[in-house]
Amino acid sequence: MITTVTFQIGPNPPPRLDKALGRDVPDDAALSRSRLARLIVDGAVSVDGQVIIDPRFRIAEGATVAVTVAVAEESHIGAEDIPLHVVFEDDDLIVVNKPAGMVVHPAPGTPGGTLVNALIHHCGDTLSGVGGMKRPGIVHRIDKETTGLLVAAKTDRAHHHLAEQFAAHTVKRRYLAVCYGVPAPNDPRLRGIKGTSFEAGNILKVQTMLGRHKTDRQRQAVSFTSGRHAVTRARVVEPFGTPPCAALIECWLETGRTHQIRVHMAHCGHALIGDPVYGWRRKLSPKAISEGGTAAVAAFPRQALHAATLGFQHPVSGETLAFEAEIPADMRELLRAIGEKG
């Protein structure tokens, strides 16, 4: 099935057809600039009755454009009735608070039970299609065992605009984590680690390159010669233990790389409690925390990391949106246990 979107080009159009269509296509068509560019090349766009396949075609004010669009196909990913904690939803996007243990997108090892399976079921016919397929547009991910906020697009246009914001690093993302030790600017060991420094306000900055580990393709590794540029900042929210031996920290990303916070905190010697890949099962001194706190750290089953804050511009209205998700129960209990007096 196909549908045709017809509209006229407004005053002072951009010089290229693809950019003019991106500016003037009706919002309710939910077509992104990248999707329109593909439709032009595919011969699905006509100008005043003539099919144009050159995105650089110079179009004039008042020209009548017809865009032929196939109705979005059903996704090959199955819908699954999995409960979701929906924080916000409208016609263009949905924000959820992901639980621990849920993979974001199906993969060979996890073909079902994912956030995408749940979103397809939850959103149903409100998914107008991303890239011609009835599926949510995933513009960022958080690890399976990381909890917290994630936004997905319900339309092609919303997907494009959200992806632009993530690419430009204008999306506000803050994480809460529990790490071994307390990152402190007066720690000579920490200051001696390459790529690690402190900024005003005792803000820890870790700046390296990240790429796949040479022998373990499931891991990321710090490098200073290859990989992708990555910058993480962190501040101590509260130290725990007497003397302090663990801390609740707030982290934020200048870049968004796979496992970035986990790799960077491990690189500087402050791995996240419970991290089975980059951390280690360190035993905290029984003189610093209680026996119950020591047991809670040893038993914590996942990396203690939570995507607590998410802020961005609405892809259609331009409104600034900001969301917060309180720290999950398992991390609250961990903090309570390590905060007990011995």
Is there a catalytic annotation at residue 143? yes
Distance of alpha carbon 137 from alpha carbon 159, whole angstroms: 6
CA angle 108/310/325 to nearest 5° reads: 90
Q: Do the beta carbons of residue 319 and residue 312 sit within 8 Å? A: no
Instruction: Tell the burial category of 239 from Cβ atoms under 10 Å away from its Cβ (0-12, 13-18, 19+).
Output: middle
Catalytic residue among 18, 48, 92, 143: 143
Structure tokens at 82: 């999995």
| Beta bridge mates, 153 | 93, 137
SS3 19: helix
Distance of alpha carbon 96 from alpha carbon 98, whole angstroms: 6
Q: What are the residue numbers of the active site?
A: 143
